[in-house]
Chain A
């Protein structure tokens, strides 16, 4: 157990809870609870949006993806950042001008029907749960690496999931958006400096980025995996070979002989359920005749997925409910754009550091395994981590001992806390504000509305807990390398397909109708989820690779099909329908007009009022 690391995490948790209790006095109305009183300044909002956005996927997953896949992993970072350009260009100021609280509010205000609000609520909840899953998985894996043992009779993974859920449930319900915003600002800068320290320690220790990348790219990537003996020895009827054949070849050439001896001993023991760590050859999915080198593309994505992944990441950001909700907290449209610019600077500098950390991880961990001093908190084969998501804490331990591992571990928890906080606020706003306040008890007092918001936070937290506990039973962590980043990209695919066509059409096309928007959201949502489920089933071996189903299952990211499908559905159904809201001109004037901004300018309401004030 890493005592210093645990102390740092406990300090982070205590500070987080303290900040929530402190900010409680500033949360009296629903505008305070969901929107921090709409008076968050550009720098504070940019820091909070960055904290909201940089999740376990960015802090643990991107470095892990680069560590395992090289260039295809680097795209995660660039794509995550690029998404904010779509937000700033097409969405941010229109959304802020339109006002309201949530995306379902926008859908209701723009298209004028209750059913579209409810469809949007459903989409928000599904997107939030898709995004919550990797945060929960990250909680468990980070706890496993950091603490290494469970509490109250649970295993380390389950302990991490439970502890993070309980902390989050408490602090979001307590502090609302103001408390969450204050926490996200603090948490973002913690994880930014944690990444900075790792990179600084690496360079301080003589790490040469270009030289390390060149050496790592000198021979093909070797995949690592934990497999059962049954899977390892199962012969593929088409090729007549089993995975063990190629594993033997690779491990005999590159691994410590003890690694291969362990595999052979497990096979000889004859238990098909016994798990072993193996090294396997990689294949270039993009340029099939080339060897798969780290500084070249193709380890994860074929030509289709190269485009689809980019689109998933850049479009998905513009549909993430917890990010878009933050735009309502800006005091003006101009402030919303300024916030986005600073977000790009903050997360851009963070993402520039992640490939350096990933390559430093390859360099340092391989050397540590060879020297026999690699941390015992992770599994290795062939000098590589079995779980690439563990690269950040393992690298922290190697470069800066318990201190740096503690800073990194606290950074990982900060990343999870800040994103889970935003998701809980967004999901609870959908239940508390969009359903309860609008349909169940419209005349509720402010205190009652805030109480329902807090209750929603608890319910969403408990559902997320069940999702987090269920992930290992599905075997997803073995089906996908760097699962955290992968699961986040699924959430991006769902939001890009369900929300972005509706938002773009709603903002930029007056002819979009309510039926068209509903049809687009439903088609985008169901098609993206269907392809993701097929892909998972195919990876787990339940769906073949033949025919249309096989092709759809082979799509890692469905966005190249599902985003245009959603948009096209809106256009076609709207044209056929032709039933524009009766007050469409009025709605249009609210989205693109400037009356309220001029009013706020004249009355000084476009100025930042300070987070620590209550209305």
Chain B
């Protein structure tokens, strides 16, 4: 797929791009973008907050980096094991939510496409 495979134009003042027999308009894409941004930035915030909390504790909290003297300090335990569990849970949840968001947005785009095609037909 390259830019050559897309057609672009305007119907009734609505800008669109067309790929095969499917259309995206600025309005539907903006709706997709805002929902996607909300999801991505929410997850991004949690990811960076947790990730940067680790060096923050490493610099400031003796309990965290010196621990109990039993070998595994809390710092070691988190960085060598628990952080991966956090990543797996985050990635799984994000994938599922992004998939269902895609599905919802595809339906929305299908509906907008049908409306636009109908308007185009009426105009013709």
Contacts and interface: CB of A to CB of B under 8 A. Distances in A.
Given A596-B19, A599-B22, A77 B106 contact: no
A396 to B, nearest CB: 21
B2 A100 contact: yes
A351 interface: yes
A337 B87 contact: no
| Residue from A86, A89, A217, A345 whose CB has the most chain B CB atoms within 10 Å | A89
Given A82-B83, A586-B6, A93 B58 contact: no
Nearest to B66: A296
Contact of B67 (A85, A295, A596): A295
Contact of B58 (A84, A209, A211, A306): A306
Q: Does more than half of chain A's interface fall in helix, strand or loop, or is it mixed? A: helix
Contacts of A586: 6, 8, 15, 17
Given A88-B91, A337-B99, A586-B17, A598 B109 contact: yes
A78 B6 CA distance: 41
Contacts, number: 191
A213 B91 contact: no
Looking at chain A, what size class is its interface with the partner chain?
A: 35 or more
B121 interface: no
A303 B75 contact: no
Looking at chain B, what size class is its interface with the partner chain?
A: 35 or more
Interface of B: 1-3, 5-6, 8, 15-26, 28-29, 32-33, 36-37, 40, 43-44, 47, 51-52, 54-56, 58-59, 65-67, 69-73, 75-76, 79-81, 83-84, 87-88, 90-92, 94-95, 98-99, 102, 105-106, 109-110
Nearest to A354: B80
B24 A286 contact: no
A599 B19 contact: yes
Given A585-B26, A588-B29, A592-B29, A89 B47 contact: yes
Contacts of B51: 82, 310, 314
Contacts of B5: 596
A82 B47 CA distance: 9
Given A210-B70, A214-B70, A306-B55, A595 B84 contact: no
A607 interface: no
Contacts of B71: 209-214, 217, 295
A594 B94 contact: no
Contacts of B109: 593-595, 598
Contacts of A81: 83-84, 87
Contacts of B16: 589
Contacts of B47: 82, 85-86, 89
A109 B2 CA distance: 9
Interface string A575-589: 000000001011011
A436 interface: no
11 contacts: A295-B75, A296-B73, A297-B58, A306-B55, A310-B51, A334-B98, A334-B99, A589-B25, A594-B22, A596-B6, A599-B21
